[in-house]
């Protein structure tokens, strides 16, 4: 890392870039912490766009991260990705990046990046969007602000943390902790639930939803209606003709079965055909010509972005979520959130990131104790505003080979593994699990990955199946996976396709799991991954429940689960009842209260 | 054995052991006058944390039955000039498998069953310290068909001051088989290869015995000739948990219902310890099919001769094919 052309060293540093002055304060703390203040040198207001604040060298593979939920977080060869993007017909949009122009001559890693030995990560995204642009073997360290600075106004830019690492996993864990120092979190426990998307997609109706509700016989904590109920994108409180009795009725039906009622929305998105678009064009982010900015296209429509710097739009947003809460909803999956952060003209002089967090704060205030699951969301600015966060691409009932944020069982799970460290910021949502053996193109082994990896990582466990169609075997597989939840997991990266999960204290005890996402056999030895020796130690391969040997051969696209067991000690407390009877309380070391 | 937790009882106070000279067996006479406990609310489960029996949260517990048939400090008995009787010495405990009201052996994580085995071991070790205790018998009655009044997963344990009649029959059979110089259960394990097997683990085997008395009877045998929980290795306890999980889970799958059963755990007698006894577990389910019950009627009760309406190998096949969760 170089600042102002110089290698990092503690002290202060000054650099003038155009009409702005950058003042750096560099201190040593488990690496280097760089604090940056930026000042408009002019006597006139000046728009601050992208600012380069340093650079790194990288000729080899890098570990990169996309800014939002669905985007990849993985090892890449930047030359190959760059070439691929240059020659592909893939359409870039603001769902890929808020700094799209940077892809003309490079590729972007948002929030953090790692070379073969150096990790650099921004600790917040409060004002600007921080990112790393790779081009021609160099990495530019940049932020995009996107607002006007008043004459001589100074602003603090996000802190940057630079760390030399031995293992990338350690760097990510430490990074997560550094980020936490800047934030106050909302906190909720991981949930077991059902949602409608991967069974019905947009074909969901009141009738089918109620049928699924009737078939919900497991102890789901939340039952969530996904996309497909609304009159249009933006018109959330008006249901379409498939939902004749409205949203309040459905919330009541869900609560009658003692589950939290969940509802999906895309609250920062407005479709070109919506009533909201017609009645409130003033709510939208505009381009330089005053036309609404197309944030993305979906549902065969142009989708515009809500201007969250607009007080009236914020009031509309608060009213939307207060109403849903009033209907009885307690679980809010809010999707396509990146729309709130698109660059453009806004009513007030707030940066895209400031506008976004203003919108998120409004939702958080409106739902109070309700649970917010972010999705399609810029990650760093969402910390503290969501209870849980999708951390990968949509999954799918097929494996999928495209690592571009589009639906894929493979890459959804890959991100759940590489972004597991984010569980310090929120409850990770690896996206839905599907236990079904019918209406899926996943093989048994691929289904095992889809079911067991989310359980072993202990984020949300949201099922999306046709509940009435599950076979006994499907249900047993689901229950089996549930019994691997409640643990604390760390993930070791072997490479971009192979991972080892160490789960401590799952319901089934300590587990070491080998996840092979590649198409080739993985041969390894268990002893390479056992750090802790147990009394009377033994290893059991699951699900055959036979002794596991040291040498392992993990089939392509499969997960090998090894239980790490030993002698157990139960704590015993003896009490005497008033009538003289003895009562002995026994406690396992894994007990953490009454659980499903 | 009837479920005795929270049952209302008669008006007589009587608690003693009486000897039947006709059959050479001891009978437990037990009638208590305590009133049924008043529960905080009608639908409350007395076994859930903080309701009645356990004042606070718990993982597993073992506690003295509120209405015991046997006690360490039994009332004095009035001697009879003709009959032989004795104080009801012993222990009746309730063992809570989990604080999760809606669980069961078939549904709980195997780690919880593993802990339960450690509890059974600890109770065995504790109770065998009482010299007058001769036999320690943990069991579970599951389902109203076998008298269970509470669905919260729990079992019981009786510590007898005598060797119960059927246990004595088993001991006599062991002695008889010993004339061949071998153990019957060890020989069965070596002999059984396929059609009776329900689960074939490294340390435990579950099978429908050739001589099953109940239609879906299952026995679980340790491969090693051990007599007590206290002799099991950590690995054996783990494997027993797996065997119990698989068998009970298969039971539930068999007719897609919460399958009622009596689960009886047979360890060797204690004080003195009988080390030649091969530990085993019997599941005696009353169901003959999805709807009907195989009753313990006159022949079974009067003569101890059982008529099993289902070929054991057929039962084994159904159970082998039944799906299960681990």
Q: CB of B137 within 8 Å of any CB in chain A?
A: no
Instruction: Answer whether A508 sits within 8 Å of B53, measured CB to CB.
Output: no
Residue A151 has pLDDT above 50, yes or no: yes
Residues in chain A within 8 Å Cβ distance of B49? 594
Distance CA B243, CA B319 (A): 13
Which of B49, B60, B64 has the CB atom closest to A581's CB atom? B64
Enter the pTM of the model. 0.93
| Cβ contact B145:A593 at 8 Å | no
Instruction: Catalogue the E-assigned strands of A83-125.
Output: 107-110, 112-114, 118-122
Q: What is the pLDDT of residue A91?
A: 77
Of B60, B109, B119, which is closest to A483 when you measure between CB atoms?
B109
The secondary structure of A165-177 as a DSSP string is -S-HHHHHHHHHH
Among A545, A561, A576, the strongest candidate for a mutation testing the B interface, having the largest count of B CBs within 10 A, is: A545
Q: Residue B9: its pLDDT value, please?
A: 42
- For A227-245, what is the HEC assignment? CCCEEECCEEEEECCCCCC
State mean pLDDT over A11-15. Answer: 95
A189-225 pLDDT, tens digit each: 999 999 999 999 999 999 999 999 999 999 999 999 9
pLDDT at A65 over 60: yes
Of A471, A545, A583, which is closest to B326 when you measure between CB atoms? A545
Give the residue on A whose Cα is nearest the Cα of B94. A583
A-B contacts (CB, under 8 Å): 113
Cβ of B61 within 8 Å of Cβ of A585? The answer is yes
Report CB contact under 8 Å: A594, B112: no
d(C-alpha A443, C-alpha A455), whole Å: 19
Closest CA of chain A from B95, distance in Å: 9
**What is the least distance, in Å, from the CA of A1 to any CA of chain B?**
49
**Res. B149: pLDDT tops 90:** no
- Active-site option among B101, B130, B154, B225: B154
Is position A394 annotated as part of the catalytic site? yes
- Three-state DSSP at B13 gives coil
Among B59, B233, B242, the residue with its CB nearest the CB of A586 is B59
pLDDT given for residue A596 in this prediction: 33
Question: CB distance B235–A583 less than 8 Å?
Answer: no
Q: Which residues of chain B are within 8 Å of residue A475 when distances are taken between CB atoms?
A: 325
Which residues of chain A does B153 touch, with a Cβ-Cβ cutoff of 8 Å?
A: none
Contact B238 A219 (CB under 8 A): no
pLDDT tens digit string along A71-96?
Answer: 999 999 999 999 888 877 777 889 99
pLDDT at A305 over 60: yes
Cβ–Cβ gap A586/B60 under 8 Å? yes
The C-alpha atoms of residue A483 and residue A437 are separated, in whole angstroms, by 20
Residue B37: the pLDDT is: 52
Q: How far is A383 from chain B (nearest CA, A)?
A: 34
Average pLDDT score, chain B: 91
Tokens of B260: 């009622």
Give the β-pairing of B60-64 and B14-20: unpaired
Nearest CA in chain B to A576: B63
Among residues of chain A, what percentage have pLDDT more than 90?
92
Give the domains, in start order, of chain A with CATH numbers. Answer: 2-180 (no CATH), 218-376 (3.20.20.70)
Helix, coil or strand: residue B178? helix
Domain ranges of chain B: 14-321
* Per-residue pLDDT at A41: 98
Average pLDDT over residues A297-303: 97
Give the per-residue pLDDT at B33. 36
Check if the beta carbon of residue A230 is closer than 8 Å to that of residue A196. no
Average pLDDT on A283-298 reads: 96
Helix spans in A369-442 (H): 409-418
Among candidate residues A227, A394, A431, A465, the one labeled active-site is: A394
pLDDT at res. A84: 85
Q: Please write the tens of the pLDDT for every residue from B235-268.
A: 999 999 999 999 999 999 999 999 999 999 999 9
- Catalytic residue, chosen from A335, A403, A429, A431, is A335
List CB contacts of B174: < 8 A, sequence separation 6 or more. Answer: B183, B184, B276, B277, B278
Confidence of residue B43 (pLDDT cuts 50, 70, 90): low
**Count of Cβ atoms closer than 10 Å to residue B21 Cβ:** 9
Q: Does B64 touch chain A (CB under 8 A)?
A: yes
B245: chain A residues, CB-CB within 8 Å: none
- Tracing tokens 């950058």 back to the chain, one arrives at A22
Domain B14-321: give its CATH code: 3.30.428.10
The torsion defined by the Cα of B244, B246, B251 and B252, in degrees rounded to 10, comes to: 110
Over 60: is that where the pLDDT of B7 sits?
A: no
In the numeric block, which tokens belong to residue A126?
């409060």
What distance in Å separates residue A300's CA from the closest CA in chain B? Answer: 43
Residue B41 has what pLDDT? Answer: 55
pLDDT at A202: 97
B157 Cα to chain A: minimum distance (Å): 13
State the Cα–Cα distance between residues B78 and B76, nearest whole angstrom: 7
Residue of B66, B234, B323 lying closest to A476 (CB–CB): B323
> Using 50, 70 and 90 to split pLDDT, how confident is the model at B71?
very high
From edge to edge, which strands make up the β-sheet containing A20-28?
A: A11-17, A20-28, A32-40, A154-164, A118-122, A112-114, A62-65, A73-76
Nearest neighbour of A476 by CB, restricted to B66, B112, B324: B324
User: For residue A23, which phi and psi values (nearest 5 degrees)?
Assistant: -115, 120
Among the partner residues A480, A547, A595, nearest to B325 by beta-carbon distance: A480
Would the pLDDT of B35 be above 70? Answer: no
Give the chain A residue nearest B245 (alpha carbons): A480
Question: Would you call A476 and B249 a contact, using CB atoms and an 8 Å cutoff?
Answer: yes
Instruction: Give the nearest chain B residue to A218 (CA atoms).
Output: B102
pLDDT digits (tens, 9 = 90+) for A309-364: 999 999 999 999 999 999 999 999 999 999 999 999 999 999 999 999 999 999 99
Summarize the confidence of residues B71-93 as an average pLDDT.
96
- Quick one: pLDDT at residue B40? 53
Please enumerate residues of A whose Cβ is less than 8 A from a Cβ of B. 219, 471-473, 475-477, 479-480, 483, 507-509, 535-536, 538, 540, 542-543, 545-547, 565-568, 570, 572, 575, 577, 579, 581-588, 590-591, 593-596
B326 and A536 within 8 Å at the Cβ level: the answer is no
Mutation target to probe the A interface, by most A beta carbons within 10 A, among B45, B93, B111, B236 is B111
Tell me the per-residue pLDDT of A30-60, one tens digit each, with 9 for 90 and over.
Answer: 899 999 999 999 999 999 999 999 999 988 9
Residue of B59, B66, B324 lying closest to A587 (CB–CB)? B59
Look at A585 and B58 and tell me if their CB atoms are within 8 Å. yes
Q: Catalytic site residue A335?
A: yes
Report the pLDDT averaged over residues A499-520. 96
Of B61, B102, B233, the CB nearest to A219: B102
| Residue A352 to residue A335: CA distance in whole angstroms | 17
Provide the pLDDT for residue A592: 65
Partner-chain contact A508 B100, CB within 8 Å: no
Q: How confident is the model at residue B172 (pLDDT cuts 50, 70, 90)?
A: very high
Q: Does B33 touch chain A (CB under 8 A)?
A: no
Query: Which residue on chain A is closest to B240 by alpha carbon?
Result: A545
Nearest CA-CA distance, residue A590 and chain B, Å:
9
| pLDDT value for B8 | 43
Q: How confident is the model at residue B32 (pLDDT cuts 50, 70, 90)?
A: low
With vertex at residue A508, the alpha carbon angle to CA A447 and CA A487, rounded to the nearest 5 degrees, is 85
Residue B199: band (very low, low, confident or very high) from pLDDT cuts 50, 70, 90 = very high
Residues A109 and A102 sit within 8 Å (Cβ to Cβ): no
Evaluate whether A354 touches A125 at the Cβ level (below 8 Å). Answer: no
Is B59's CB within 8 Å of A546's CB? no
The answer, for B66 touching chain A at a CB cutoff of 8 Å, is yes
Q: Judge contact between B273 and B134, C-beta under 8 A.
A: no
Does this complex have an ipTM over 0.90? yes
What band does B180 get if pLDDT is binned at 50, 70 and 90? very high
Split at pLDDT 50, 70, 90, the class of B2 is very low
Choice between A236 and B294, residue whose per-residue pLDDT is larger: A236
CA distance A17 to A41: 10
């Amino acid at each position: 890392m170089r600042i102002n052309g110089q290698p990092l060293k503690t002290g202060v540093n000054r650099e003038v870039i155009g009409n702005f002055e950058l003042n750096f304060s560099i201190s040593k703390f488990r690496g280097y912490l760089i604090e940056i203040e930026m000042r408009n040198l002019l006597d006139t207001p000046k728009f601050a766009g992208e600012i380069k604040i340093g650079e790194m060298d990288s000729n080899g593979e890098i570990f990169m991260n996309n800014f939002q939920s669905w985007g990849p977080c993985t090892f890449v060869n930047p030359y190959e990705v760059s070439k691929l993007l240059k020659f592909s017909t893939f359409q870039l949009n603001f769902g890929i990046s808020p700094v799209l122009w940077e892809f003309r001559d490079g590729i972007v890693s948002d929030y953090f990046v790692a070379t073969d030995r150096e990790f650099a990560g921004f600790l917040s995204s409060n004002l600007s969007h921080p990112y790393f642009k790779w081009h021609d073997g160099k990495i530019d360290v940049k932020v995009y602000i996107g607002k006007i600075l008043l004459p001589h106004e100074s602003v603090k830019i996000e802190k940057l943390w630079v760390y030399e690492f031995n293992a990338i996993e350690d760097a990510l864990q430490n990074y997560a902790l550094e980020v936490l120092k800047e934030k106050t979190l909302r906190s909720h426990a991981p949930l077991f639930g059902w949602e409608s998307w991967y069974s019905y997609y947009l074909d969901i109706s009141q009738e089918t939803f109620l049928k699924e509700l009737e078939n919900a016989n497991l102890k789901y904590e939340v039952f969530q209606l996904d996309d497909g109920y609304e009159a249009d994108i933006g018109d959330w409180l008006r249901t379409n003709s498939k939902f004749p009795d409205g949203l309040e009725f459905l919330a009541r039906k869900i609560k009658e079965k003692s589950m939290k009622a969940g509802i999906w929305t895309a609250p920062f998105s407005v479709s070109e055909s919506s009533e909201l678009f017609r009645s409130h064009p003033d709510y939208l982010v505009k381009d330089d010509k005053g036309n609404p900015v197309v944030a993305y296209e979906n549902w065969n429509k142009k989708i515009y972005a809500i201007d969250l710097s607009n007080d009236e739009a914020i009031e509309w947003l608060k009213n939307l979520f207060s109403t849903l809460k009033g209907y009885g909803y307690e679980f809010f999956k809010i999707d396509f959130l990146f729309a709130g952060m698109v660059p453009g003209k806004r009513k007030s002089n707030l940066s895209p990131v400031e506008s976004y967090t203003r919108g998120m704060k409004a939702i958080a205030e409106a739902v109070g104790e309700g649970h917010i699951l972010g999705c399609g969301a810029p990650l760093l600015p969402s910390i503290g505003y969501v209870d849980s966060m999708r951390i990968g691409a949509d999954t799918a009932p097929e494996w999928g080979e495209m690592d571009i944020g589009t639906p894929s069982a493979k890459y959804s799970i890959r991100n759940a593994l590489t972004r597991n460290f984010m569980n310090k910021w929120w409850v990770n949502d690896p996206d839905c699990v599907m236990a079904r053996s019918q209406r899926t193109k996943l093989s048994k082994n691929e289904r095992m990955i889809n079911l067991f990896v989310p359980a072993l990582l202990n984020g949300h466990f949201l099922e999306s199946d046709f509940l009435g169609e599950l076979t006994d075997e499907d249900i047993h597989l689901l229950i089996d996976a549930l019994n691997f939840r409640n643990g604390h997991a760390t993930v070791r990266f072997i490479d971009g396709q192979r991972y080892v999960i160490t789960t401590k204290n799952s319901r089934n005890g300590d587990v070491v799991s080998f996840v092979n996402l590649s198409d080739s056999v993985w041969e390894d030895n268990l002893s390479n991954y056992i750090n802790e020796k147990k009394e009377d130690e033994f290893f059991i391969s699951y699900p055959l429940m036979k002794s596991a040997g040291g040498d392992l051969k993990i089939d392509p696209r499969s997960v090998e689960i090894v239980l790490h067991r030993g002698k157990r000690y139960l704590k015993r407390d003896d009490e005497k009842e008033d009538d003289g009877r003895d009562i002995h309380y026994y406690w396992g070391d894994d007990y953490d209260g009454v659980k499903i | 054995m009837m479920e005795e937790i929270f049952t209302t009882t008669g008006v007589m106070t009587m608690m003693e052991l009486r000897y039947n000279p006709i059959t050479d067996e001891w009978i437990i006479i037990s009638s208590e006058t305590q009133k049924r406990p008043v529960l905080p609310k009608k639908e409350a489960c007395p076994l859930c944390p903080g309701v009645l029996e356990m004042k606070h949260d718990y993982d597993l517990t073992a506690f003295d039955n509120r209405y015991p048939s046997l006690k360490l400090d039994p009332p004095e008995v009035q001697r009879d000039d003709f009959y032989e009787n004795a104080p009801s010495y012993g222990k009746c405990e309730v063992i809570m498998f989990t604080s999760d009201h809606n669980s069961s052996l078939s549904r709980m994580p195997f780690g919880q069953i593993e802990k339960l085995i450690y509890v059974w071991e600890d109770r065995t070790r504790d109770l065998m310290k009482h010299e007058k205790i001769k036999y320690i018998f943990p069991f579970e009655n599951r389902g109203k068909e076998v008298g269970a009044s509470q669905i919260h997963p729990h079992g019981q344990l009786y510590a007898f001051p005598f060797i119960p009649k059927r246990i004595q029959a088993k001991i006599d059979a062991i002695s008889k088989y010993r004339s061949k110089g071998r153990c019957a259960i060890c020989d069965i394990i070596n002999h059984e290869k396929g059609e009776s097997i329900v689960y074939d683990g490294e340390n435990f085997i579950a099978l429908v015995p050739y001589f099953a008395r109940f239609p879906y009877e299952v026995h679980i045998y340790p491969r090693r000739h051990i007599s007590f929980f206290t002799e099991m290795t950590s690995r054996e306890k783990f494997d027993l948990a797996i065997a119990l999980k698989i068998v009970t889970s298969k039971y539930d799958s068999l007719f897609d219902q919460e399958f009622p059963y009596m689960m009886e755990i047979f360890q060797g007698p204690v004080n003195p310890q009988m080390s030649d006894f091969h530990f085993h577990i019997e599941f005696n389910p009353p169901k003959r099919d999805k709807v009907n019950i195989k009753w313990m009627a006159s022949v079974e009760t009067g003569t101890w001769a059982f008529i099993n309406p289902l070929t054991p190998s057929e039962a084994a096949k159904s159970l082998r094919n039944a799906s299960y969760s681990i």
